Structure 1
Amino acid sequence: MAREVSVSGFGFHRAGEQHNGKTIFASFTGSKDTGGKSGCPDCVQAEPVVREGLKHVREGCVFIYCQAGDKPYWKTLNNVTAVPTLLKYGTQSVCLQANLVKTLFSED
């Protein structure tokens, strides 16, 4: 299981630096209100899918869950432009795996 780190906004950068050298998976979502409810319907649908997928992440990886703010905040050019977004970084080997590259470029 991956170690999970929860951050908000620009806290993502600091969390990434703290786990430099490890494979990092990151999920960017719209922020939840104080009751834990998200105003982003796509984020609500994506969360259980991502949580299920995390069961297959190898030991030693890091999962950063980043709440990117409400839509007016994250929809600017200086921030994430679409949520939910899921990414992996910390390795360049994905570019060498033709099936993964094909999947990335062919999905809608």
Structure 2
Amino acid sequence: MVTILELHGYEEFQKYVANIEPNQPNSRPVVVYFSGEKLPSGESWCIDCVEAEPVVKAYLNELKKEITFVYVDVGNRETWKDKACPFRTDSRTKLMVIPTIILWNGVRRLEGSQCAKRDLLNMLFEDED
């Protein structure tokens, strides 16, 4: 039920979101998870991302909803720390910290250590009435 996509870098992210149809009836919600690039060990260089990832993965495995979950690698530490990093400056993302989870085309988001809290993930994924 959950479709997971992985994107690497800003260019792949740009191409993907350009094709999301906003507010289409019966369209699957898109949730975007921004995280630091993975090291050869398979873990991100970002400590908060390493903490959040297993919680988010476990939550997605239990989720019984039709959603598209997009994992976006924002790059290495140097790329992320650059004040001109496009993920920081893009008006659609306005990232200040990673990890960040955004309900695309909505206002709901979790930032930093919030991403590792199941109760907050529940609130993010609740259906809008």
TM-score (norm: length of structure 1): 0.71
Counterpart residue number, 1:17: 18
Partner SS, residue 63 of structure 1 = strand
Give aligned-pair identity as a percent: 29
Counterpart CA distance in 2 for 1:2 and 1:66 is 16
Quote the RMSD (CA, aligned, Å): 2.6
Segments of 5+ residues of structure 1 without an aligned counterpart are 95-99
Count residues in correspondence. 95
Counterpart residue number, 2:4: 4
Counterpart residue number, 1:39: 45
Counterpart CA distance in 2 for 1:52 and 1:18 is 28
Partner SS, residue 87 of structure 2 = coil
Counterpart residue number, 1:83: 98
Structure with larger RCO (C-alpha < 8 A, sep 6+): 1
The amino acid that maps onto 1:58 is: K
Segments of 5+ residues of structure 2 without an aligned counterpart are 23-27, 89-95, 109-119, 125-129
Residues 27 and 86 in structure 1, CA contact (< 8 A), matched pair in contact too: yes
Q: Deviations over 1:21-50 (max 9, x none)?
A: 441101100000233122111100000111
Counterpart CA distance in 1 for 2:32 and 2:8 is 12
